Structure 1
C-alpha cells in the first residue's frame, strides 16, 4: 500500500474506528433483517444449457402436446395385487389421494378401460361400454393377463410380473403459472432484438414469475407432506413410494436447507475448535469468527434484498465464503502477532497500521486472482453455475473489504499486549515441511512431475455421463422410488421422437391406391383443437419426459413419465398421412426399433393405437381406421391419439422412457445411434426426424461441461499468470508460483477421471475453487519470500523464515478448510459429498505444493538473483 493510501486509510478508518464499526454494524443489521425472505430455487432450468437451440424446439413441442403435472405412487402389496383385499386397499388409497389439494383425477388399474377382459367389439368401444375393474364386467384373471401384456398398460400401470402398480395423481393445471411463464419467455425472446426497449417490463415479468414460483413450491410442500401422511396410513399393507416433480423438487430443497443448517453449523464449529487449538487465545477466536459471521450475514442479506435465489449449487457459497473470509483474517492475525512480537514497544495504532500496510498488497492480489477463478464459471452456460460464479465474485470482494474494516477497527478498541510471532521457529509444524524441501527436494520435484503426468492422463479419462439417481443415498425415497419406476414401470427419463411430414413425399405404402383410399375417407371437416400455449412442468420449463404416456404428464424435470394418456385435452385427427395404415406401419417400424433397444423401457405411439385396433377388429384398412376414429369416444381419443398425433401440422410423436438408472447408459451415443438408424436404416429424411425431451436437453448440458471446464481453466491460468507477472515483476517467479496451483487443479480433475467421478453441475466448480483458494497460498508465500530475501541474501535461510511465519498462516487456513469441508461427507446429497471431499483434497494438494514444490523450485531456479551470503 502506498504511503498516500496508507495515510488516507488511517484517517478514514483507523482513527474513527468506533464510528466505522457502528455504521458498518447498522448496515449489516439492516441487510440481515432481509434474510428471513431468502428463497431457494429448484427450477428445471437448472438442468438445461442456456442458449441451447434444442430448448426452443422442446418448448414448441411441449406447447403442442399440452400436459398436466402429477405425482406417482407405486403400490406393491405382499400378496396378490388382484386379490379382493388388495384391490379394496388400493381403492381406499386412491380415494384418499383424490382428496389432496388441487388434484383433478387419480388414475389406477381400477378405472382404466379394459379391451381384453373379456374382449370387446368395436360397437362396445364406440358406445363406451368398456369394462373396468371398479365398474364391473371385468374378469379379474383376464384383467391380470391384459395388464401384463397390453401395449398400453404393460410396464406403465403394472410391472411385467404383475406385483407392482402405479397410481397417477393428476394435478389441476395452474393457468396463472403458465400465463406468467409465457409472458416472461415472450419478453425474453423479444429482448434479443436490438431495438428492444421494454427492459422494465421484462424485469417485472421475471420478478412476477419468480415470486409465483415460490408460491407454487410452497403449495407443493403442503401437497407432498399430505401425500406422505396418507401413504403412511397404508404402509402396513404394501410397499409404497412417492415420485414425481413436486416430490423431487421439495426433497432437493429440503436437502439443501438441511446441508445449509447442519453443515454450516458444523463447519463453524470446526473453525472455532481449530482457532482455539491454533491461537489458544479467546481474542483470536472471537475476532476472526465475528468477521466471518458478519461477512456471511451481509452477503445473505444482500442476496435476499436483491431477491437473488440460492440453488442446489450456489447454496454452497456460504461455506466457501466462511473459508475465504477466515483465510484473509488468519493472514492478518498472524502478521499482526509477528509485528507485535518483534516490535513490542509500538502502540496499538502503529501495530495495526503496519499490519494493514504490509498485508494490503498480497491480500488484494489474492482476492483478484480468486475473483478470476470464480468469474470463469460465468461462461459455463448453466444458470445455477453462473449464479454461483457471480455470488462468489461479489462475496470475495465483501470478504476482503470487511476483513480490512472489522478486524483492524476491533483491534483499535483493544489494548496492545505481548504476542508470540514468527520466532517460534523449530517448534512450528511447518518447520518440518522446510526440512523435507531441503533434504528431499529432488524427490518432491520427481513426485510432482509424476503426479502431473498421471493427472493429465486422468483428465483424458474424465466423463460427463452420470446417473441422476446417484445424487441421493440408497435409503432416500427419491432413490428407491426412481429405482422402482425404472425397473418395474418402464423407465424414468423420457425422450420424444418427432416425425414430420416429409418435404418430398415418400411412398409409404407398396400400393398407391391405399393412399388414395386413405385421403378419400379422411375427415377434413374435423379441425384439430390447437394446443394451448403452455408447458407441462408445474414449476418451470417443463420436461416432456418421464413419458407422456397418460396425457396428464409426469413432466418431471428429468422426464414426463407416465404422460399424456389420461385426462389430457382432446384434438380430433384431421387429415394426416400418419393416420393411415401405411403411416401407422411406418410409425410402427420406429416404435419396434426403439422398443428393441436395451436402454429403453416403455414406448408409446400411434402404433399402440394401431395394435389395439387390430386386436379389436382384426386386420384394418384406412376406411375402417377413419370410421373407427370418428366413432371413438373422447376418452379413448385422449388416451390413444391426442398425445401422439398433431394433425394440424401432420406430425407424429413417439414417446419413450429411458432407463436412467442403467450404468451402461451413454446418453450422447444413444441419441446419435437412434437418429442415425432412423435416417440410414429406416429411410427417413434428415429434416423429418427430431429428437427432443429432457434427455436431449440434459445431454446437451452435460456435453458442454468438459469443453467449458478445460477452456475456462486455461483462460484462468493465463489471466493469473499475467497477474503474477504484474505482482512479482518476473516471468520466472510467476511461472514458479503457478506450478503448485496447476498441479492441484490437475490432481483434482485427474483424480476424478481416475476414480470415475463424472463432471456435473457441482463438480465443475471444484477446479475453479481449487485455483481460487489455492492460488492465495502462492501469492502470500512468494510475496513474503521477496520481502525476506534481501535481509539475508540466502535462499535456504529465507525459506525457513517464510515457513515459520507466512507458512503457518497457510497451514492454519488449509487445515480449517480440509476439516471443515470434510464434514460434508455426512450429507444425504451426493453432490455435496463430492463437493466437500474434493475441495478438501484439492486444498491438501495446494498446501503441499505451496509448502514444498514452490520453495524447492525457488531454491533451484533462484529467480531473485544470486545469493549474497
Structure 2
C-alpha cells in the first residue's frame, strides 16, 4: 500500500505542483479577508448568560463609549492656570475629531459650592471654570473630596486629572446590537435559542461586521490622533490613555506584531538551524519554500472561512512553520540515510524509498498532533475553541504540503551525495542507547522519580490573574493601564444592578428614603473591599446634596430634583445613567483595582455576594455584570477546561496509538512518556507560581499532540528493526536510535528553539506559552530517548542470545 502511494505521488508530481499553484492563486485572493479580532465576545462561550446580562444592562443604562485621557503635571501644581490652559487646549483639539461628541474635564463640569445654586433660576451649566474662570485655590476647594468627580476626573492624591472623551454611537450598529441582545436575552429566561434565532443572530452579525471593521479602523486613527495631540504638553506633563477600546487596539497591535515579528524570527532561525544541521542549500531552500506555502495557504483559508485571529491564535504562523518543518525533517532524515546507504539509487528511487519508510509514521504523527489541537474544541472557552478549529485546518495543510508538495519538489532535483551527520551527535545517541539497554529498570525508575517531583507542583496550580500583568512593564499599555488603575479608581468595570420591589407612592419621586437606605448599605458593602476603587451611584448624589446642605440630609423631593438636574447636565457624560424607572432598577458603577496585591477574584465575588445578601437583598434583586464578572467567569472555567482537554487527549491518543500498533502493551508504553511530559510541564507551571490563563491551559494538550509525533517515529523504527532483525531489543534499539534518533533530536531542537523566541514578546501569556512549550518539547525529547527505549527494551524486545 505504502509503495503504491509513494510511486503514485512521484508519478503525479506535475499534477501536485499544478494543484498547489492553483490553490495558492485561489486562496491568495482571500488573504485580504484575513481578520484580527480582539473584541470581548471572542473570549466567551456561546450564549454566555453573564455576557448577555452585561449587554442588557448596558442597553438599559446606556453608558457611552469613552476614552480617559489622564494628565499628570510634572513641574507645576495640578490646580494651576497652566493645567487649566493645557486642558482647554487639549480639549479644543480633541473636539475637532469627527466622532467625538463631548470632552468632559474639571474645567467643563458644573462646580456647585452651596445648595442655593440648585434652586431658583440659577444656570447650573454656567458654574464651570470655562464660564467663571475660578482661581486655582477656589477650584481646589470645590473639587477636593468631591463625591462624584473624585476617581473620575481627579485622583485622590490630587496629582493628576482626567479628561473624558465621549464618542458618538453608530446608530445602525446600536440598533443591530439591540436586536441581537433581544434575541439572546431569551437565554436569561431559561429558553434555548432555536435554529431560526441562531440564523437571525448570524445574519445580524454579518450585517454588523463591516461596520465594526470600519469602526475598528476609525478607533485606531482616533487613538493615534489623540496621542499626537498630547505631544503638545509632553514637556510639562505625562499623559496616559485608558478605556476598553484603547486596550482592544493595543491587543490588535500586539497580535499583528507577533504574527510578523515571530513568524519572521522563527523563519530566520529555521534557515540558520537547517544550514547548520545539513550544510546544503537544498535542505534550506525547499523546506523553507514549503513552509512559506503552508502559511500562505493557511492564511488564505482562514480568510475564506472567516476564521479570525485572536490573542490566543496570534502564534499560528509560528506553529504552522514549526509543525510543517517537523514533519519534513523526518522525511529529510530518512532520505539522507537512504541516499548514503544506496548511492546508486536514482532520485525517483530515493524518494519512493523515503516515502515507503515515512509516509505511514508521518501521517499518523500529524494525525496525533491534530488530536492535541482537536481536544481544545471541547475546552468550553471560545478563543481556545476557535484556536483548536484553526489549528485543525492548519494541520490538514501541513499534512498535504509536507507529504505531497515537498516530495514532489524534491523529485525534480538530481540525485546528489549527501553530507555525513555530525559524529558527536551520533556518539551521544549511541551512549543513550547503551544506557537504556544495560539498565532499563534503573533508567525508568530515575525518570519516574524526576517527573513525580515535577508533577507534585500541580497541587500549586492557580488561576488568579491580573489582566494588567499580562503586559511587560516596559510597554506603553502596561504603564497606561497601571497608572489609571492606581490613580483613577481601577481599570476593570464591575456593575451591580439592584432591582427594588418597593411601591413608590408618588410617581414624581426617583429617590425614596427606603431605596436610598438600601443603596447606601449595598454601596458600603462594595466599598469595604481593598480592591474596590471608584464606586458611583445615586448614593453619590445624596452625599453631594448633603455636603451642599451643610451636612444635613435633604428630603426625598429635594434629592430627586438634584438627581434629575445633575444627571442631565453631568452624569450621563461621565459614567452613564444610574436609574431605570421602567424596571425600578439602580446601577452601582464600580471599578476594581487590578493592581491590588493578593487580589483573589473568586473570593472577592463570593464575599461580595454574601455581603449583598447581608444588606437585605436576595438573589433575585441584584446582578453582577460587566468586565470583572466576565473575566472571572473565564478564569473559573480554566481548571475544568484543562482537565477536560487533557482527558480527551489521553483517551483519543490511546485509541489512535492502539489502532496504529495493534498492541495494548505498546500503546501503554507509548502513552506513558507523553503523559509524564504533560504532568511534568503542569507541575513546573505550579512550582513556578505561573497562573493558568487562556493561553497556558493549551500548552499541555498541544505539547502532547506534538511530542507524541516523535514517539510514533521512534516506535515505528524500533518495531521495524525488530521485525527486520532477530526480534531482539538490541535490533530494535539500534534501528530506533540510528534511524529516528537524529531526526527526533533535530525536530525537538528546532521546535524548542522556535517556541523559545516567544520569550521576547511584550505579551506575557505569549512569553509563557512559548517558553513552557519549548520546555515541554525538551522534556518530551528526554523521555523519548530515555524512558521510552528503556520500557521497550524491558517489556517488548527480546533479550539477545549470546
TM-score, structure 1 length as denominator? Answer: 0.87
Match of 1:730 among 663, 681, 686: 663
Q: Note the alpha carbon deviations across 1:327-385, whole angstroms, 9 max, x for none.
A: 11111111122222223333322222222122122112112211111011112222221
Counterparts of 1:53 and 1:629, CA distance in 2: 32
Distance change (3 Å), C-alpha of 1:67 and 1:631: closer
Give the deviation of 1:657 after TM superposition: 0.9
Distance in 2 separating the partners of 1:583 and 1:640: 23
Distance change >3 Å, CA 451–CA 126, structure 1 → 2: farther
**Closer, same or farther in 2 for the Cα pair 1:804/1:624, shift >3 Å?**
same
Query: In 2, Cα distance between the equivalents of 1:362 and 1:641?
Result: 60
In structure 2, the residue matched to 1:106 is: 103
Q: What is residue 161 of structure 1 aligned with on the other side?
A: 157
Structure 2 counterpart of 1:796, from 725, 730, 744: 730
Partner residue, 1:752: 685
1:26 Cα deviation (Å)?
A: 2.6
**Match of residue 635, structure 1, among 569, 580, 583:** 569
The 1:189/1:674 distance shift into structure 2, 3 A limit, reads closer
Secondary structure at 1:691's aligned position in 2? strand
Secondary structure at the aligned position of 1:100 is classed as coil
Contact 2:63–2:572 (Cα < 8 Å) also in 1? no
Change (3 A) 1:480 1:792: same
Query: C-alpha distance in 1, partners of 2:794/2:672?
Result: 14
* Per-residue deviation, 1:138: 4.0
Q: What is the rounded CA distance, in whole Å, between the counterparts of 2:404 and 2:732 in structure 1?
A: 31
Q: Is the Cα–Cα contact under 8 Å of residues 338 and 422 in structure 1 kept in the other structure?
A: no
Residue equivalent to 1:600: 532
Change (3 A) 1:130 1:195: closer
- The superposition leaves residues 44-95 of structure 1 with CA deviations (integer Å, 9 ceiling, x where unpaired) of 1133343322222222111101121111111011211111122112211121
Counterpart of 2:24 in structure 1 is: 28
Paired position in structure 2 for 1:396:
395
Among 581, 585, 590, the residue aligned to 2:513? 581
3-state secondary structure, aligned to 2:157: coil
Matched, 1:822 2:756: yes
Q: Deviations over 1:711-761 (max 9, x none)?
A: 220121011112111211211111111111111111221111111111111
C-alpha separation in 2, matches of 1:691 and 1:317 = 35
Distance 2:201 2:553 in 1: 56
Structure 2 spans left out of the alignment, 5+ residues: none
Classify the secondary structure of the residue corresponding to 1:610: helix
* Distance (whole Å) between structure 2 residues aligned to residue 119 and residue 157 of structure 1: 22
Match of 1:848 among 782, 787, 791: 782
Are 1:763 and 2:696 an aligned pair?
A: yes
- Any residues of structure 2 matched to 1:146-545 within 5 Å, and which? 146-184=142-180, 196-197=195-196, 203-419=202-418, 427-438=426-437, 441=440, 444-502=443-501, 519=505, 521-523=506-508
Q: 2:706 aligns with which of 764, 773, 782?
A: 773
**Structure 1's 199 and 469: CA in aligned 2 closer, same or farther, altered over 3 A?**
closer
Kindly state the Cα deviation for residue 213 of structure 1 after the two structures are TM-superposed: 1.7
Displacement after TM superposition at 1:452 (Å): 2.9
How far the C-alpha of 1:20 sits from its partner, in A, is: 2.4
1:634-681 Cα shifts (integer Å, max 9, x gaps): 3257479972211211112211111111231111110110111121x3
- Is the 1:430–1:811 Cα contact (8 Å) retained in structure 2? no
Aligned partner of 2:84 in structure 1 is: 87
Residue pair 1:774, 1:846 contacting (<8 A) in 2 also: yes
Cα shift at 1:629 = 5.5
Query: Does the aligned pair in 1 maintain the 2:56–2:181 contact within 8 Å?
Result: no
Q: Conserved in 2, the CA contact under 8 Å of 1:608 and 1:640?
A: no
Give the aligned length.
Answer: 795
Distance (whole Å) between structure 1 residues aligned to residue 54 and residue 330 of structure 2: 51
Deviates more, 1:15-24 or 1:423-432: 423-432
Q: Paired residue for 2:544?
A: 612
Q: Distance in 1 between matches of 2:562 and 2:291?
A: 72
Query: Closer, same or farther in 2 for the Cα pair 1:351/1:185, shift >3 Å?
Result: farther
Contact 2:492 2:594 in 1 (8 A): yes
Deviation of the 1:440 alpha carbon: 6.3
Cα shift readout 1:367-409 (whole Å, capped 9, x = no counterpart): 2211111011112222221111011111112111221211221
> C-alpha distance in 2, partners of 1:194/1:586?
36
**Alignment CA distance shift 1:484-1:668 (3 Å):** same
Conserved 8 A contact 1:73-1:243? yes
Q: In the TM superposition, what is the alpha-carbon distance from 1:615 to its structure 2 partner?
A: 2.3
Q: Distance in 1 between matches of 2:163 and 2:565?
A: 29
- Name the SS for the 1:752 alignment partner: helix
Instruction: Provide, for residues 226-279 of structure 1, a one-character-per-residue CA deviation record: whole Å limited to 9, x for no partner.
Output: 111111121002011112223222221111111111111110011111111111
The corresponding residue for 1:65 is 61
Whether the 8 Å contact between 1:422 and 1:804 is mirrored in structure 2 is no
- Asked whether the 8 Å contact 1:457–1:750 carries over to 2, the reply is yes
User: Residue 651 of structure 1 corresponds to which residue in structure 2?
Assistant: 585
Aligned residue for 2:623, secondary structure, equals strand
State the SS of the aligned residue for 1:26.
Answer: helix
Bigger mean CA deviation after superposition, 764-773 or 207-216: 207-216
Q: Does 1:74 align with 2:8?
A: no
Q: CA–CA distance in 1 between the matches of 2:359 and 2:577?
A: 65
* Aligned CA-pair RMSD: 2.6
Q: Given that residues 367 and 396 in structure 1 are in contact (C-alpha distance below 8 angstroms), is that contact kept between their aligned partners in structure 2?
A: yes
Please give the TM-score of this superposition, normalised by the length of structure 2: 0.94
Select which of 123, 128, 133 maps to 1:132: 128
Mean Cα displacement is larger for which, 790-799 or 208-217? 790-799
Q: Given the superposition, is the C-alpha separation of residues 522 and 189 from structure 1 closer, same or farther in structure 2, using an over 3 Å criterion? A: closer
The equivalent residue for 2:522 is 590
More helix by share: 2
C-alpha deviation, 1:849, in angstroms? 0.8
Cα separation, 2, equivalents of 1:194 and 1:154: 43
Once the two structures are TM-superposed, the CA of residue 202 in structure 1 deviates from its matched residue by 5.0
Residues 811-858 of structure 1: CA distance to partner in whole angstroms, max 9, x if unpaired?
A: 101111111121121112212211211111111101111011111111
* Among 808, 811, 821, the residue aligned to 2:745: 811
In 2, Cα distance between equivalents of 1:636 and 1:379 = 47
Q: Contact (CA 8 Å) 1:423, 1:804: kept in 2 or not?
A: no
| TM superposition shift of 1:627 | 5.4
Between 1:236-245 and 1:410-419, the stretch displaced more is 410-419
Paired position in structure 2 for 1:562: none
Residue in structure 1 matched with residue 35 of structure 2 by the alignment: 39
Cα offset, 1:682, TM superposition: 1.7
In 2, the alpha carbon distance for the partners of 1:128 and 1:477 equals 39
Once the two structures are overlaid, the 10-residue window that deviates more, 838-847 or 185-194, is 185-194
Distance 1:198 1:374 in 2: 30
In 1, Cα distance between equivalents of 2:564 and 2:253: 49
Which of the numbers 75, 93, 96 marks the counterpart of 1:96? 93
1:378–1:386 CA contact under 8 A, matched in 2: yes
CA–CA distance in 2 between the matches of 1:796 and 1:758? Answer: 44
- d(CA) in 2 for partners of 1:647, 1:432: 80
Q: CA deviation at 1:22?
A: 2.5
Match of 2:718 in 1: 785
For residues 25 and 127 of structure 1, the distance between their equivalents in structure 2, rounded to whole angstroms, comes to: 73
State the match for 1:622 in structure 2: 556
- Is the 2:567–2:577 contact (alpha carbons within 8 Å) kept by the matching residues of 1? no
Note the C-alpha offset of 1:604.
0.9
CA distance in 2, matches of 1:415, 1:331: 20
